[in-house]
Structure formats: structure tokens, C-alpha cells
Chain A
Amino acid sequence: MKGFFWRRRGLRRLTALSLAGCLCAPGWGQNSIDDLINASLEELANIQVTSVSKKEQTLSKAGAAVFVITQEDIRRSGMMNIPDLLRMVPGVNVARLDSNTWAISIRGFNDRYSNKVLVLIDGRSVYSENFSGVFWDQLNVPLEDIERIEVIRGPGGTVWGANAMNGVIDIITKSSKDTQGGLMTAQTGSAENLGGLLQYAGEIGDKGTYRVFGNYFNVASSDLSAGVQGADGWHGSSGGFRSDWNLSASDTLTVQGDLSQTAEGQTLTSVIVSQLPLTRTFNELMTVGAGDLQAQYEHTFSNGSELTWRTYFDRVRRLDEAEETEADADTGLQYHFRIGTRNDLMAGAGYRLTNSSYVGLYDTFFVPDRSRDSLFSVFLQDEIELTHNLALTFGSKLEHNAFTGFEYEPSLQLVWTPRDRQSVWFSAARAIRQPALLDENVNIAAAVVPFPNSAFGVAEISGNPGLKAETMLDYELGYRNQVNRRMSFDVTTFLSDYSDLRTEDPGAPFFTLDPGPPHLVLPSTWGNLARARDYGGELSASWDVTGWWRLSSGFSLLHMNITPTPPSTALADASVGASPKHQAQLRSSVKLSHRVEWDTSAYFVGALSEGPVPAYTRLDTRVGWTMDRSLYFSVSGQNLLTPRHFEFLNGYQVHPTEVERSIVGKITWRF
């Protein structure tokens, strides 16, 4: 639900134009338009084209910091999972904790449980309402089926609602119409990983198409430290379908569903509340099962206005020492229409029911351990064409959630397009992070503190039913320029004021007999006792050096300033030192011939004082080779600069493992 409002409106425009193009070898020179004019129709139909400016073109009018990862970017990156793909987006910090756990955030506040970025797959939220945050191991979408990933840095609450605070990541899969035929991939490599996909897409009558797929992967364990192997290996399989129907010229229907199951290892240290003062370090296997079913129906009225209805159900079960489940049923209507010639409006309403439970065993418990919550939302946004080159968009979402009641998330965007392919934009918005079940119900035995004479204390964190939503007021100024057909850049600066950030506030120690032997409890509770003022900027640029060589680069700067109010001393979930101040990316895509492509990427991530984790540069290179229309090979080397390095150390109970240098080969067969 969150998701599809804005996606349909703002990014709809991207849809038509963001088909992946290719960077191809020169054949026709720059001034060859006359050669083309004189070419026969058959020749024209056989020319490979380069699509340079599409992304920039369609992005040029968005009043937000948008970055689009296209299918071509995905293929040419050689990355094997969605978290790694996000490394190419300036302003996004991706840190691998172990091979199945990531800390990912946009514009700071990174943490294993970072909670300020909303993630959607085809408009379906995969943000956990239990824990606040995203479990990245649940995102098992076949990368070949992704049409694009749209990443919006900055708030998107007006259209997406709560938790779209520091950004939104929307993973959009291809229509089954665009994946007709069969597809098989197989990959194998050194450290990671073994995997394969088998897929077939066909037609149903003359109005419908379908796709079914199944995939499997297996990733080996990596090291806890040199020579000490961890237990973070994992494997999983998933299957799914998507069916797209043109019911009539004005009605379309899409139905899709997935099932996935993974088994993941981890090494943890946990307090065992039933055997206090025992704290154990052990390897554990977790299984994660997830399923979803979604339908989207769209009707276009004769006056051109559009009505979209979307409904989905999804359920996730994560089973380790604890059993956590979350099931959502979500439905929403959205209406896009115009008033006069200057007003383009979008209105919507939605409802979501979440059933969740968490039954703990060792150190984390929810009291009560299950809940059923409703979320209601309405939304209105108007884009007004003030003059031929100045557009104003404003609107707000109004939500009612089970934790904090009514919340509103207004925004305003002004986009000035003084010339073709050049724009200046300003935005101001309010966004919130809604408390999750964890914030109200949790009870965590975080650590055992030994005292003399075998006495001990237990540091406990407990939920707070009175917790307020975290709020953010954000101001951004951006400039985009497509300098010429070969060069473009995009600069964004932001200033974000946060208030009521979640803190861990110490309370008065007390003695207890239950559970376990008599001991001192050092309690703390969640509170809203911190403010923050962050500022920074991101730059991304792309340059087609020649017809066959493209360079893309990104740079981001972040300054965080968190101010806790006593008695609180720190945020509950993220510290300033857990997010890098600087990050930079440079990607080179070379078309060696029309059959061979060679890509190299370097990703620099600044040092983290939390850990500490030294700055590192990840270097990947890849050669892809088209044998013929149906067969494609690639070989990628990843993390080439160092044999092993850590990216993030604070995993709460989970022990971090090292990212290792690896090489992977892959074959793709279309039939």
C-alpha cells in the first residue's frame, strides 16, 4: 500500500522510459544521422541502440533525490543479492554483518535494526511491523526478474506513509509480458555461492501472460576471524508466479505470489534467562519461511482518470530459538485525475491489518506475545503547473495506527525547469517512524553484569507503551543537469531535524527473585529523549566517455549530530559512529565488442568509529560474454583488494563475520 501511491504518480513517468538499454561499440559515428537516413528499413531494424539519456531524462522533473538501478545496472554489477546492489546508490550505506545479515540505511542511523527506510516489492511493504526494520534475508526476488529498483533518499511519507523517513527502496519486477520464454541460470564460485534459477513465461489466450519460477542458492560460511570459521552459511529456495492481464483496453490486472524458505546459520551470544546468570555463545540455525499473494487492478475511465486497487496478503515466520510471525492483509484504492489543465491530483485510501507474534526462549520476550493491529490511511496530493517551467506539488497523508493514533505527513515540492534537461528543486516534508510491537511489548535481557561473591546484575530493556513516533522535518535542495548527450550530474543537499528519537533510558536498579537466583536488575526503558540535526549531500554523475565506455560515479557526505536529553545518554538503535561520513563509488562499463562487456566498480566506505571498522574499498570486476541470443556467460571477481575485511561489528547478539575475496561464474540461457 505505502508505495503504490507515489510510485504510480511520480515514478509512473519513469516506467515507459527506463527500459534497460545497452552501451554498445561504436559503429555509426556521432554525425552519422545521414547514414541512418539512407539505411534501409531492414538495416534500421537490426541496429543495436545505445540508450544514454533515458534515466536522466525521466528523472529530470522529480522533486526528490531519486536514483534508479536498472536491469542493465543489475546485470553489469555482477552482484548476487539485493543488499549488494544498493551499494551503487550514493547516500545508501550497505554493511554486511554476516553472510545472511546486513545493516543498511540511507543518510545515517545505520544499525542491524535500522528502522528509517521503507522497502517495498512491487508496492508491497517488507518492513517488519514487529521489529521496525527490514530483514534483508527475506528478499529472494530473482535478480533477472527485476525491472528496476527505485531508491528515494529523503522522506516519502506523504505517499508511502509511516517509516518512509530517510528513504524508500521500491523493487519493481518485470511484467510477465516482458519475460516471455524460458530462462535458466546457474552460478558457482569460491566463497559464495552456488545458485540457479529456472523460469518459464508464456501467454494465456490473447489477453494474458504468466511467469513461473523456482530458484535455489547456497552460500558458504565465512570466518569469524582468521582461521576461525563461522556458522553463517545459508541456503534457500523460492518459487513464485506473476500473471498480467489486459482485460480490456481500459482494464488491467496483475496477480502475483511467492513462497520462499531459507535456512541460515549464525553465531550468537545470548543471555539465557531461564538459567541466570548463564550467558552462552553458540551456533544456531534459523529457518525463515515467507509467502505473499498480491492482486492489482487498474481501470482507466473515458476521461483519462485512473483508478487502481491493490490488495495483498503476506506472512513471514522466522524460527530460531524464538518464533516470530507476522501476517499482513493490506488493501488500498488510489485515484489519479486532473482538474482543469493545471492540476494533476492523486487521492487514496488504505487499510492494513497486521497479526504478529513473538514467542521468545533465551533473552528476548514480548509481553504480551501477540497482537493484532490496524492501520488506516488517506492521502491527497496535487501537482500544480504554476507556469510552463515551474511546478508545485503538495499534499499530505493522514494515518491512524494502533500505537500512536493519528499521524500526518505533509510535503511540498517545487520544481523549476529553466531549460530542457536542467532542473532545480526544493522540498520540505514531515515524516515519522511509527513505533513497532517491539517498542511497546519487548523485554530483553541484554547482558549479565558480574559482581563480587558470585552476585550478578542483569541489564534489562523493556518496552514502553507510551512511546511516541519519531518525527523528522526535512529540507532539501537539488540540482540536475544533463550537460549534453553524454554527461549528466545530480546534486542533492539536505538538512534533517529529528525529534523524539528512540532512546534507551536507565531506570532505578532493583532486586528481584524472579526469574532465577536473587539478582539486581539494571533496567532501562525506551524513551523519546533525543533530537538530531543531520546534514549532508550526495552527488552522482554519469559520463559516456565514448559510445562504448561509460563512467558513473557517486559521492556522499553525512554529518550527524545526535543530542540525547538526560537521563538518556544515547539512541537505542544507532550511533553516530555506525554510519560512515564519506562514501564514494566509481563504476566503469566498457563494451569491448558487441558480445563482450567488461565492468569494474570501486566502492569506498569511510571508517566507522563504532567497532571500530577501518575505511575500506571494495573492488569488483566482471566480464560478460554473449555467445548468441540465448546464451550468456559471466565471470566476476569481488572484494578483490583485500583477502578479508569486516564491514560492521555491532550485531547485538550476532557475531560478525568477514567478507572474503571471491570469484563467481554464471551462465544464463534463454530459450
Chain B
Amino acid sequence: MAVLNPVPEAWLVPVLVRGILVLLGTMVPGAAQGQTADEYQVKAAYMYNLAKFVDWPSDAFESPSQPIAFCVLGQTPLSRPLEDALAGKVVGQRPLVFHQLSDSNQAGGCRVLFIGLADKIRLRQTLDQVKSLHVLTVGEAADFTGEGGIVRFFLDEGRVRLEFNLDAADDAKLRVSSKLLSLGKIVRRVGR
């Protein structure tokens, strides 16, 4: 029979202290609670930030005050929060405007396009259509960036994270600020 080793208690103490703190936290409403919000509201807020942290080439706009068109293709839960988020917002001299699209043929004038599709075939068709049109494509399908989309939202431990396909951003002549990139995961893969 080995002599009881006192060492385990050394790690046990902080664990217990932490446990007690957590328990106390659960008893006091509001204490120890993390910040939480609806997933699509957070995504909408990210979308707004994209306008601030992405540079379009000058030929993407006709004038310095031309609005930045944010489009959502298809029925997605992002539409309503995004419309709310953009209402009345201006970045630089450009107002942010929201468009709900039902067909990818309408996407030519969009500067930011959210594609809610998970269907690979349609996703590819849509991405192909807008490839050379200076459109910042944003999606959440698992293979979105692999298919040539530029920004993908994904969930990591209940938090919304970003993934960037920089090759696809280069193709669209878009420059993503390093501040935004530093928060995301970077993949360099052009679809196909």
C-alpha cells in the first residue's frame, strides 16, 4: 500500500474554488453570464463589419457615394436581422442598402452577397456567375470556401467564426484587412 500522496490536493483546491464560484454565479442572476445573442443577429453584425474591413477596387463603384449593396439570395434567417442592421448605416460616403434576391441572375450589382444555399450544384452555379464581378461572397455551407466562396461563417463552441478563401478574394479583386483576417481561419483554395 503506497503512502498517500498529498500532491493531488494541489490541483484540487483551484478546481473546488472555481466550482464554488461557478455555483455562486448560478445563484446570482446576471452574474457570470457570458454575452449571448441570436446567431443571425451576430452574423448580420459581422456582415456590416465586412463593409468596413474589405476594400473593393475603384471600378466596382461608379461614384464615391454609390451605395454598397448587400444581397441575400434565397430564404434565409439572415434576411431580417441584416435588413435591420443596415438600415440608415453609412460607411465612408456610401450608404448600405439591403436587397433580397430570389434568383442569382440578379446578383450582378451586389457588392456583398450572402448565399444561404447548401446545395452544391446551385452554389457552384451562383459562385461562377459572380466570380469576376467584384462581389464579396459570404456563406455558411460546409464546403462554401472550398467551392470558391470568399467568406464562410461557421460555429465553433457556440461562437460565430469566419473562414476566408484569399485566392477567391484575389480573383474578385477584393482586399480583406488584416484585422478581419486575424480573427478568422484562412484557407487558400480556389474551387476546382
Contacts and interface: CB of A to CB of B under 8 A. Distances in A.
Interface string B97-124: 0000010000000000000001111101
Given A17-B140, A596-B26, A46 B159 contact: yes
A21 B85 contact: no
A595 B28 CA distance: 13
Among A37, A44, A57: residue with most chain B CB under 10 A:
A44
- Output the residue of B35, B81, B192 with the most chain A CB within 10 A: B35
Interface stretch (A23-31, A254-262, A499-507, A642-650): A23-31
A24 B26 contact: no
B159 A51 contact: no
Contacts of B44: 33, 36
B110 to A, nearest CB: 20
Contacts of A33: 41, 44-45, 81, 84-85
A49 B155 contact: yes
B175 to A, nearest CB: 17
Main secondary structure of the interface of A (DSSP, over half): mixed
Contacts of A25: 33-34, 36
Contact of B160 (A47, A249, A547): A47
A514 interface: no
Contacts of A420: 75
A323 interface: no
Interface string A9-36: 0001111110101101111100011001
A27 B120 contact: no
Contact of B22 (A250, A547, A595): A595
A337 interface: yes
B107 to A, nearest CB: 15
Interface of A: 12-17, 19, 21-22, 24-28, 32-33, 36-37, 39, 41-54, 57-58, 246, 249-250, 300, 302, 304-306, 336-338, 344, 388, 420-421, 485, 547, 592-596, 625, 627-629
Nearest to A420: B75
Contacts of A21: 39, 155, 158
Contacts of B15: 627
Interface in B166-187: 179-180, 183
A246 B147 CA distance: 12
B95 interface: no
A595 B36 contact: no
Interface residues of B, number: 57
26 contacts: A17-B140, A21-B155, A25-B36, A27-B35, A27-B37, A28-B37, A32-B37, A33-B44, A33-B45, A33-B81, A41-B49, A41-B53, A41-B179, A44-B46, A46-B34, A47-B160, A48-B34, A49-B158, A51-B39, A57-B77, A249-B191, A304-B120, A336-B121, A593-B33, A594-B36, A627-B18
A19 B85 contact: no
Q: Which of A16, A19, A45 has the most CB of B within 10 A?
A: A16
A627 B19 contact: yes
A121 to B, nearest CB: 20
B31 to A, nearest CB: 8
A54 B146 CA distance: 22
Contact of B118 (A12, A344, A593, A595): A12
Nearest to A548: B36
Interface in B110-161: 118-122, 124-125, 140-142, 146, 154-155, 157-161
Contact of A49 (B19, B39, B121, B140): B39
B37 A15 contact: no
Nearest to B179: A41
A48 B36 contact: yes
B85 A28 contact: no
Nearest to A14: B118
A249 B192 contact: yes
Given A45-B159, A49-B155, A485-B38, 12 more contacts: A16-B141, A21-B155, A24-B36, A27-B36, A36-B37, A37-B85, A41-B180, A45-B160, A49-B38, A53-B40, A336-B121, A337-B121
Contacts of A15: 118, 142
Given A17-B140, A27-B36, A41-B183, A344 B121 contact: yes
Contacts of B37: 27-28, 32, 36, 47-50
